Structure 1
């Protein structure tokens, strides 16, 4: 009897240990998130990954200063968190992967919210809506996305735009960013580029005599958010509150009108 009683106690002990381990495992994402937010506040800095070559979202002005819509939004969000934004620049193709290597805490770079990305990362609430635009030379025979079949489109390989071009049968010519795409197109080395409609409107504002034009635009808008590592519910909530606050007090609209002449949140 004593032996059986001991076995029963041992089994109960093991079951309890497994139950406690399972409970701790379920709590780990939340604990990690709290720790990330605490680290950011303790350091007084949130590290933000961005391209720096994607006007008007993130680019360098004539003086070499990093500026842009996403840059100012990130700075405004950081201020609401009570910290400063420290920008770490990188090429688009490896930008999001930099989160995995802990190079930064978040990425602000007009990152589209997609199911594939949400499977691996978390997003803030959407803070910008944009459409994919098919950009061509003024005398081009390309009138629609379907006309891309067999044509060359300049795009970053891992971008949504590059994948969209491939879906229409285009040969994607890889580039580092938006400006490179337009340079190849203007020089006639590619037939088109699919890119952000807001970026192109900004380009035309600065290059009014350019012969490049929008041939077609997708009907549905893409929504973008700030992206960060999974398991950061407290950081996510803090960033969402900051975004809501800057929309409520007019700061968001001021930044949006500065770069686009309109509210681009919807």
Structure 2
């Protein structure tokens, strides 16, 4: 997905079939919170800095700490969320664990609302942000996607996955929604600061007089899902893997359905401050290493999202 307002459909039917494998994780519950509390769980890395093959690529300060601090909205299953025991699990924590073994450090996830993660990077609260964040040109350049104005110095991304955006409704009650244009005259629930919100705002500007698209933003995706489930909004939108997971698991598969095709397929990136080039390059090397040794594919297949896999780690590949 990208922050552009022009929608492009993708091979949705192929992706829908592939993500059916998410049933592997179907017993896990959607859980999490959007507060600014530290998650006690870190990705377990048994490799020491002395034995890890890529440890010397990291900045010395991080090698000395042995920890990479990760800002993440841990309420976005199956990308990152808490299981029944309170442990942080998902695609991102698993990838971070594998990368940590290459770098000889632990990746420590700290929970925060999605729209504050880049600010947390700027303030040095986090070393990186890893939270299903789409790599877009606007985020690279520090530009507000709605106003087009410069709001910060931007970030660099190490791209590790590809996903699009989907619309969902209550199961059996799609309200005639098949495309984004069908949302005019209705209300959509989205997570604040996401590309789903950007797309909804762009579509709202196109709606004819008398058929306003109402947009209700929330701190996290589960709040948006609750709004749709209760009938307070006719539709919701989030990244395709997240939507597909919710459709599969929420209410035992009885709560939601995906409508129409996913749009705006684009890379997820690990966000790094512009002045952290050494850390950025170390992450790229670690990701390339786990792609090469097969760990990456195992993780992506485990979570049933193999269609979003990448074959190499790119830097700032978003457009």
User: Which string of whole-angstrom CA distances, capped at 9 and with x for unpartnered residues, describes residues 211-257 of structure 1?
Assistant: 42111223441211100100222211111010011111111111111
Structure 1 consecutive aligned stretches of length 4 or more whose deviation exceeds 3 Å = none
Tell me the distance in 1 between the aligned counterparts of 2:168 and 2:80: 20
**Higher helix share goes to which structure?**
1
Alignment of 1:1-266 (within 5 A): 37-119=59-141, 120-124=154-158, 126-137=159-170, 138-139=172-173, 140-169=175-204, 170-207=213-250, 208-260=252-304, 262-266=306-310
User: Which string of whole-angstrom CA distances, capped at 9 and with x for unpartnered residues, describes residues 31-67 of structure 1?
Assistant: xxx9982211111111111111111111100111111
Query: 1:264: Cα distance to partner?
Result: 2.1
TM-score, length-normalised on structure 2?
A: 0.69
Tell me the distance in 1 between the aligned counterparts of 2:60 and 2:115: 29
Query: What is the match of residue 31 of structure 1?
Result: none
Aligned length: 232
Q: Answer with 250-259 or 204-213: which moved more.
A: 204-213
The answer to whether the Cα contact below 8 Å between 2:58 and 2:103 also exists between their aligned partners in 1 is: no
The answer to whether the Cα contact below 8 Å between 2:168 and 2:235 also exists between their aligned partners in 1 is: yes
Gaps of 5+ in 2: 1-55, 142-153, 205-212, 311-319
User: Which string of whole-angstrom CA distances, capped at 9 and with x for unpartnered residues, describes residues 50-106 of structure 1?
Assistant: 111111111100111111111111222222111111111111121221111111100
The answer to whether the Cα contact below 8 Å between 1:157 and 1:163 also exists between their aligned partners in 2 is: no
The answer to whether the Cα contact below 8 Å between 2:76 and 2:221 also exists between their aligned partners in 1 is: yes
The answer to whether the Cα contact below 8 Å between 1:129 and 1:221 also exists between their aligned partners in 2 is: yes
Tell me the distance in 2 between the aligned counterparts of 1:238 and 1:204: 36
Gaps of 5+ in 1: 1-33
The alignment partner of 2:133 has SS state of strand
Tell me the distance in 1 between the aligned counterparts of 2:203 and 2:94: 35
The answer to whether the Cα contact below 8 Å between 2:57 and 2:282 also exists between their aligned partners in 1 is: no
Tell me the distance in 1 between the aligned counterparts of 2:305 and 2:238: 19
Higher radius of gyration, 1 or 2: 1
Over 3 Å counting, the alpha-carbon distance change for 1:190 and 1:35 in structure 2 is same
The answer to whether the Cα contact below 8 Å between 1:37 and 1:235 also exists between their aligned partners in 2 is: yes
Tell me the distance in 1 between the aligned counterparts of 2:110 and 2:305: 28
The answer to whether the Cα contact below 8 Å between 1:93 and 1:156 also exists between their aligned partners in 2 is: no
Pairwise CA RMSD of aligned residues? 1.8
Query: What is the match of residue 5 of structure 1?
Result: none
Tell me the distance in 1 between the aligned counterparts of 2:60 and 2:184: 50
Query: 1:173: Cα distance to partner?
Result: 0.7
The alignment partner of 1:53 has SS state of coil
